A and B are shown apart, each in its own frame.
Chain A
C-alpha cells in the first residue's frame, strides 16, 4: 500500500526526510514538468529548470501547505508562479503578445497518425498564457475550476472564462485544420 501525500509531507516536516520528499517528487514530476513545458511553449529544458525550481520552493515552503487543497494543486500554483516570474523577464514568453489568433489554421503535420496531436500542441502554444494554464490544469490535469482558481490565484469566474475561451479558440483553429486536411 502506498503512503499518502499527507504522511509523506508530515515526515518531511518532522525530520527533513529526503526519501519522503523524493517520493513526492517522483509522484508529481511528470504532471508538473509537462505543465511547465507546455507553458513555455514546448521548451523542455526551460520547463525542467522551472520544475526543479518548483520542487525546491515546495521544499522550502512546505510548512505553509495547509492541506486544504490537494498537494498537486499547491504544486501547480508554485509552478505557475515560477513560469510567471520567468515570463516577465523573457520576451519570447511575454504574456500579452500571444493573444493573436492565427490568420489561418496551423499547418498539418507530416505524419497523418500524429497530425491532430501535433496540431493541438501547436494550437495550445498560440493561446494566451492565462488561458493555456487554465485549459491545461482543468482539461488535461483534471483539476476542478475551484482548484485551478486556487492554483492560478485568480477568481473562479476568470478561470471558467479562460477555460471556455481557450477551448473555443482551440476548436476554431482545429476545425480550420480539419478542413485543410479533408480538402
Chain B
C-alpha cells in the first residue's frame, strides 16, 4: 500500500530525513519509535502533504500513485489520515460542522452521496461511543478549549468518521493520562482491520502495550536504524534509545 524508498527531506537547509525506506501492506500496524528530534513527526507531516518541507530525494508510492505529487486534500480523499500531535483550533467552526464538511468532501471524491444532517448525526453518534466522547463537544468550536484528552479523542473520532486506508497517528499518546490513553487505544484497536494500515508514531513504548504493532522501526537522526517486532519495543524500554545510539556511534551494524 505504501512504499517509501530513500526519502530525503530538508527544512530550512537542514536535512531531517536522510534516506527512509519503508514498506507497509494493508492490514499491518507499524510503530515508529525514536528519540526527540529524530524526524518522526516530519515523516508523518511529509506523508500527509505539509508543504513546509523540501523533498530532496527518493520516492513514495501510495497504492501505486506518486504520493509526493498529490495535494494534501487529495491524499486525504484517497484515504490517508493523520491524527495530529497538536490538533488545531478553528474559532467559530463547530466540531460537527467541520466533520460534516470533511466527511462530505471525502464522500464526494469517492462518488458517494453527501450525507444530510440527519444521516450524518446518526453516523456521528455511533462513532462517538467508540471514543466515549461527550456530545456537547460537537457544538463547540473545534478543539477550542478542549482538554488534551478531548483533543486526542476527537482525532480518533475523525479517523473513525473518515474511514481511512492508511492512518498515521503522530504521538497520539502524548499528554494523556492512563485512562485517556486506554480510551484512545481502544478506539484505535476498534478501527483495525485487514484493509487498513496504520503507522503509530510514539516516543514511549507505553502506547504499544495497548496498540500492539506488527512491526517496530527505530528512527534515529533521520534514518531507520533498526526494525523488528514487538520485542524491540520492550528492549528499548529497558535500555533506552542511548543503547542504539551507542551502537551506531561504535560503528557496529545494528541487528536485533
Task: Report whether chain A binds chain B.
Answer: no
B: residues with CB less than 8 A from A are none
Partner-B contacts on A (CB < 8 A): none
